[in-house]
């Protein structure tokens, strides 16, 4: 009989980046890299586990923007072109490293990885990664949930509740259309929760969501079981809190597993190391050096300059992944044993991570995950993997608590998304939000060109609301792109708003931006109405 449960939650999200107006666009590589290094490796792991009869449970939140990119034919075609370029480069690397046996072995490894990714994407998954994930959900091995439409940081939109509702309803509608069922749960972007958001989730049919640790611990009244059991909001929607101990073991690059010296070094890539003339055909069209995914070195040790890194040894890394999986399982076993005795009931450990950590940032992450699932299945009986939905079915009686306003990130109360580098965006978002609600209230019925314009206005506002732009501005990475994307969407929204109000919709312009920002085909502008 198990002492407790482990719920692994992977949040798969990328901002909607699609630029048909350009033949080659740098930021689209974020998506292509994630497919090759995270999404396909995870699917490979799931396939192996199912093939070998390993019972496992993992919850995966696929954000609506990522889901829209999964389904987009343009991006599907461009990903294959991206892979073909990497395959060509990897063959050249096999030739170039011929007289360096250890590096040559790694070049062959990458060549096979790219060939396998292409074969799986084209022939097995038929370019549809959404269907590939659905397959494992249908088998009952993963629980697919959703996220707010464009990953909008909901607490900073609270003064415009209809816009929060529109983000939630749009997400649920796309999920249901794609996977054939409504999502049981929702990952609140950045774990940002404002009391009352759960009422909107309830109306959309969502049964649970996640908050950071202090969102539960600072709830009212105090939770009897802390973060080791869900709580029900007054709406009846359940909230699960993040476990700090299990998260730190994987998240922390310094104290966690990903920082081990035998693991692959992320920041040393031939896109930056190779001779410029050699690598030129495989980097960005404007000559900007980029990550290729071909990396020959390991972390090696603390504070070691990139130029002094030692060669990566896959066998050593694989051994470490197995060792770390065993360590993680052992610690969770002891954790649930202690908590079971202390609480008098089986606890649930919520361990949430960004999916892109697995494979992209932490190259060995998918192997670690596979080892963990196998060890839990074969090597012990005290710890059982479970999804939040299954837990609620098994333990339907839980304490009623109102979680506190909270987020994850710096200081835990939204500061990462509202501070000096990005606070200027909110006056524009709020004005556009007022105008969108005005349009939705003024036009409860529309068809033809007006309906298209209203729906596109809702799309542009939602894209401007993405938390990714504020996040990028704060981190200082790709800031000009974040500025441009935010301003473009606000300007497109404003032009549509003025045209609708003046009854002067520019049909060619509307068609142009519909072609660029084409996500959420079922979007309904009326979701922004005041109820």
DSSP per-residue codes, 291-304: --S---BB--STT-
**SS3 call for 374:** helix
SS3 530: coil
CA separation for the pair 389, 181 (Å, rounded):
14
Nearest Cα to Cα of residue 493 among 458, 444, 451: 458
Whole-angstrom distance, CA of residue 90 vs CA of residue 107: 6
Tokens for 25, please give them. Answer: 């666009």
Q: What is the pairing mode between strands 58-62 and 142-147? A: parallel
C-alpha angle with apex 176: 179 to 449, nearest 5 degrees? Answer: 120
Region 4-71+128-255+343-411: CATH code = 3.20.110.10
Cα–Cα distance, 430 to 366 (Å, whole number): 41
pLDDT per residue over 365-415, tens digit each?
999 999 999 999 999 999 999 999 999 999 999 999 999 999 998 889 999
pLDDT digits (tens, 9 = 90+) for 403-457: 999 999 888 999 999 999 999 999 999 999 999 999 999 999 999 999 999 999 9
| Tokens 């449960």, located at residue | 5
> Structural domain boundaries of the chain?
4-71+128-255+343-411, 420-528
Mean per-residue pLDDT of the chain = 96
531, pLDDT greater than 80: no
What's the whole-model pTM score?
0.97
What does the CA dihedral 359, 361, 362, 365 come to, rounded to 10 degrees?
Answer: -30
- In angstroms, the Cα distances linking 118 to 8, 31, 32, 167 are 28, 15, 12, 34
Collapsed DSSP state (helix, strand, coil) of residue 181? coil
Report the top-level CATH class of 420-528: mainly alpha
Q: Residues 129, 130, 131, 136: what is their CA dihedral angle, to the nearest 10 degrees?
A: 100
What local confidence, expressed as pLDDT, does residue 253 receive? 67
Name beta bridge partners: 385. 6
Torsions phi, psi of 167, nearest 5? -60, -45
For 346-361, b where at least 16 C-beta lie within 10 A, e where not — what string?
bbbbbbbbebbbbbbe
Say yes or no: do domains 4-71+128-255+343-411 and 420-528 share a fold: no
pLDDT at 248: 87
Is residue 385 classed as helix, strand or coil in its secondary structure? Answer: strand
Nearest Cα residue to 403 out of 172, 134, 220: 220
Distance CA 531, CA 528 (A): 9
3-state helix, strand, coil in the chain (%, to 5): 55, 10, 35
How far is 356 from 363, CA to CA, in rounded Å? 10
Give the other-Cβ count within 10 Å of 371's Cβ.
21
d(CA 149, CA 185): 14
Beta pairing class for 208-211 and 238-241: parallel
- Interval 319-376: pLDDT, tens: 999 999 999 999 999 999 999 998 988 999 999 999 999 999 999 999 999 999 999 9
**pLDDT over 90, % of the chain:** 93
Position 468 scores a pLDDT of: 97
Residue 193's DSSP bridge partners are 406
Q: Is residue 254 scored above 80 in pLDDT?
A: no
Q: Is residue 486 within 8 Å of 463, Cβ to Cβ?
A: no
Judged by DSSP in three states, 315 sits in helix
Beta pairing class for 238-241 and 348-354? unpaired
* pLDDT at res. 395: 96
Buried b (16+ CB within 10 A) or exposed e, 381-414: ebbbbbbbbbbbeeeeebeebbbbbbbbbeebbb
pLDDT in tens, 464-523: 999 999 999 999 999 999 999 999 999 999 999 999 999 999 999 999 999 999 999 999
Distance (Å, whole) CA 454 – CA 525: 6
Mean pLDDT of 102-116: 98
154 and 164 in contact (C-beta within 8 Å)?
A: yes
For residue 232, what are the contacts with CB-CB under 8 A and spacing of at least 6? 238, 239, 398, 399, 400, 401
Reported in sequence order, the residue ranges of 29-165 that DSSP labels E, i.e. its strands, are: 58-62, 142-147
Report how far residue 249's alpha carbon sits from residue 24's, in angstroms, rounded to the nearest whole number.
Answer: 38
Q: What is the pLDDT of residue 1?
A: 73
Residue 45's nearest CA partner among 378, 360, 370 is 370
In sign, the C-alpha dihedral spanning 11, 391, 129, 73 is negative
Give the count of beta carbons closer than 10 Å to the beta carbon of residue 331. 14
* Nearest alpha carbon to residue 65 among 101, 110, 12, 23: 12
d(CA 195, CA 176): 26
| Per-residue pLDDT at 19 | 95
């Amino acid at each position: 009989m198990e002492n407790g449960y482990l719920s692994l939650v992977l949040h798969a999200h990328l901002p909607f980046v699609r630029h048909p107006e350009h033949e080659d666009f740098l930021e689209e590589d974020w998506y292509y890299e994630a497919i090759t290094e995270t999404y396909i490796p995870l699917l490979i792991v799931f396939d192996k586990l199912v093939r070998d009869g390993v019972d496992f449970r993992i919850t995966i939140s696929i954000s609506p923007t990522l889901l829209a990119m999964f389904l987009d034919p343009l991006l599907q075609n461009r990903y294959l072109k991206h892979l073909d370029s990497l395959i060509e480069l990897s063959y050249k690397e096999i030739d170039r490293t011929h007289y360096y046996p250890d590096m040559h072995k790694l070049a062959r490894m990458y060549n096979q990885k790219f060939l396998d990714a292409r074969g799986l994407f084209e022939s097995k998954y038929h370019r549809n990664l959404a269907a590939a994930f659905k397959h494992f959900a249908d088998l009952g091995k993963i629980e697919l949930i959703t996220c707010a439409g464009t990953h909008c940081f909901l607490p900073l939109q609270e003064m415009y509740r209809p816009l929060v509702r529109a983000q939630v309803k749009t997400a649920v509608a796309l999920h249901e259309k794609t996977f054939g069922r409504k999502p049981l749960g929702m990952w609140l972007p950045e774990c940002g929760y404002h009391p009352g958001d759960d009422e909107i989730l309830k109306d959309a049919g969502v049964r649970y969501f996640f908050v950071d640790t202090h969102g539960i611990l600072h709830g009212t009244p105090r939770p009897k079981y802390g973060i080791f059991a869900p709580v029900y909001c007054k709406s009846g929607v359940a909230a699960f809190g993040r476990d700090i101990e299990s998260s730190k073991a994987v998240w922390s690059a310094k104290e966690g597993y990903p920082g081990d010296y035998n693991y692959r070094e992320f920041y040393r890539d031939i896109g930056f190391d190779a001779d410029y003339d050699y690598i030129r055909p495989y980097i960005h069209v404007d000559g900007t050096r980029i990550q290729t995914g071909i990396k020959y070195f390991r972390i090696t040790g603390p504070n070691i300059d990139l130029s002094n890194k030692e060669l990566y040894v896959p066998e050593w890394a694989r051994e470490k992944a197995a060792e770390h999986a065993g360590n993680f399982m052992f610690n969770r076993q002891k954790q649930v044993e202690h908590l079971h005795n202390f609480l008098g009931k089986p606890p649930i450990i919520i361990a949430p991570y960004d999916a892109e950590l697995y494979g992209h940032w932490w190259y060995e992450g998918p192997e670690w995950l596979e080892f963990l699932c196998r060890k839990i299945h074969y090597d012990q009986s005290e710890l059982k993997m479970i999804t939040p939905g299954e837990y609620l079915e098994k333990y339907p009686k839980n304490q009623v608590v109102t979680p506190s306003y909270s987020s994850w990130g710096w200081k835990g109360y939204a500061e990462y998304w509202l501070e000096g580098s990005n606070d200027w965006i909110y006056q524009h978002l709020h004005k556009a939000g007022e105008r969108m609600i005005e349009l939705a209230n003024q036009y409860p019925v529309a068809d033809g060109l007006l309906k298209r314009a209203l729906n596109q206005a809702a799309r542009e506002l939602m894209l401007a609301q993405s938390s990714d732009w504020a996040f990028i501005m704060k981190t200082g990475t790709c800031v000009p792109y974040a500025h441009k994307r935010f301003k473009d969407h606000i300007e497109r929204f404003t032009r549509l708003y003025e045209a609708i109000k003046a009854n002067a919709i520019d049909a060619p312009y509307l068609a142009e931006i519909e072609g660029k920002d084409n996500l959420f085909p079922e979007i309904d502008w009326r979701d922004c109405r005041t109820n």
